[in-house]
Each structure stands twice: as C-alpha cells, then as structure tokens.
Chains A and B, each alone.
Chain A
Amino acid sequence: MKIPEEIAGLLRLNSSRKAAAYLATAGLQGNPNLLAAPLTDVHQDEFVLLPDLFAQKTKVNLNENLRGAISLELPEDEGGWVLEGPCNIFQWGHPDAFRWKGLTAGEVLGRWGNWAGLEDLEALPDGLRPVVVAQRGVIALQVETVKKIGGK
C-alpha cells in the first residue's frame, strides 16, 4: 500500500524525526526482537529502507521469517504508528539480479548500500552514531498495513 505522506515524511532521509523508529522482527518460534532504526528512507511510496549495520538478531530472524513491523511514536502520549509487512535484507554479496518484491539487489544496494554517502552520520547524536560504519546491506519492509494505535 502507499504509505500516507504524514508518515512517509517522517521516514525519509534527513527527516526531522527526533526519536528512532524501531523494527520488530520475530523468529518462527515467536520470539520478538527490536532494532532501533534512526536511519530510514522511503522508496516507491511503499517500502521503508534502513541500513543493516550488523543487526545480528534481526538478520537471524529474517533468515527464517520474512516479516517485520516498524513503529513510529506520536507526540503527547498519543501512541504511535505501526507499519507491518514482509521484510528482507539485501546483502552485499547478493548478485545484482537478486529480486524480492520487485526490487533488485543492484538497485537497492547501488542507491542505499553506503548510507554514509546519503546522510552525515557524524551528525547523529552520541548513542546512535556507529563507532565504525560497516554496512552489511539494506533492510527493506514492504508496507501492507498502517495502523495508528493510540495511547492513553
């Protein structure tokens, strides 16, 4: 589905978002894991992309279970958005022709495979700035559903 613009705007490169989004994945046994995702972009209005900076548990989960959910919080205790759908990693080493959901590894890695060339990672706040930028690939989530889950 097309990601609503009010959400896509928060997920595009260099957005003004003040907090990290999170990517939830799970193993086939249902063990959930969260990955803080301060760096994100939107592609073709339906994919959320983020760099795989050695997200080890996320990779283990996606190797067996290609599903994910991304959360974005709303201000003033209003809960958050959750974007759910199939999820995969395009990894350096995949042939350019490797294809998933209409995307190819050549296209994705060619454009997002070196995130440091897209955003100034030195400008990231301490605590999020990678000590060493070693990008293993690009995680992509194809958004199937978007829900606003209001808080108290």
Chain B
Amino acid sequence: MALLTTRMKNWLEGTGAHIGTASTEGIPTVIVAAKASFDNSNTVVFDLSARQIDHIRKNVESNPQVALGPGGLGSIRAAYQFKGTGRIEGSRLKVAIEEIYSTKPGPEAGLRLDTLPFESVLRFEKTRWQDDGPPASV
C-alpha cells in the first residue's frame, strides 16, 4: 500500500478525480467524480451516482485496476497519478492506492513516488509547490 501525503489527500478531497478503468479486454473508460474522502490513510472513497456506478461496475468487478487523476484545478496544480485496486460497495467506489506517480511535465513526468522514502516525497512536494491543497474557494 502506498502512503499519501496530506497535500495529495487534500487535493483529491477538494477537487475529486477522473477515474480510469478498463475491461479485461483492455477497453478503457473514464468518469469524473467531483469529491472524494478517505477511509484510512490510503483508501480513497468516491460517492457516485447510479449512472456512474453503472458505467464502471462491469469493469471494476472483472478488472479492479483503477487509475486516478486529480480533477478541476487539481488537474493543473496537483500533478499526480494514483493507481490502485477498486471495489464497489453500494453507491461507493473505494480505491486502495498502491502506486503514486508524478505527472509534472518535464524530466520528472512518470517518476514513481511511492517507492521513495516518505521523507523524500515530502521534500519533493515542498520544493515544487507552495500549497498544501486547493484554495478554499474551490
């Protein structure tokens, strides 16, 4: 399991995420969830509409691999991609995060963060961003 920083959690909670799934044959799709919460330190929870659940249910139940990219302003200022294992419980999608990547354009794009020491991830964030999450107005 990957350990998320406070900044990562704040952006996901504040701006939600685009949620990528795929069929077992590799047909991808993606939905947008505006908000998220956390069950524990690395399980992110999305409350979804019936339409959203219908759209991803078959994929997640047959192939639980899920990719997440921060939504809204987070798509610009929170350059992360999260990958993990998803499960549907009622109207909720829960994703246990297992991999975290930097998507910051340039040489750091694709850098895997969860395999670094946690202190190094915190230092990585601190030297690249000033914020600890989205502004209050978002």
Binding site for B on A (CB under 8 A): 18-20, 22, 24-36, 38, 53-54, 56-57, 65, 67-74, 77-80, 82, 84, 125-132, 147, 149-152
Contacts and interface: CB of A to CB of B under 8 A. Distances in A.
Contacts of A22: 18, 20, 30, 69, 75
A45 B20 CA distance: 25
Interface centre among A24, A25, A28 (most CB of B within 10 A): A24
Given A67-B26, A69-B20, A149-B31, 17 more contacts: A18-B72, A18-B73, A19-B72, A24-B28, A26-B26, A30-B23, A32-B20, A71-B30, A73-B18, A74-B32, A77-B35, A79-B32, A82-B31, A125-B76, A130-B106, A151-B34, A152-B48
Contacts of A35: 103
Chain A, interface SS category: loop
Interface of B: 18, 20-35, 47-49, 51-52, 55, 63, 65-69, 71-73, 75-77, 79, 81, 83, 103-107, 109-110
B109 A152 contact: no
A147 B55 CA distance: 10
B73 to A, nearest CB: 7
Interface centre among B21, B25, B32, B104 (most CB of A within 10 A): B32
Contact of A69 (B28, B63, B109): B28
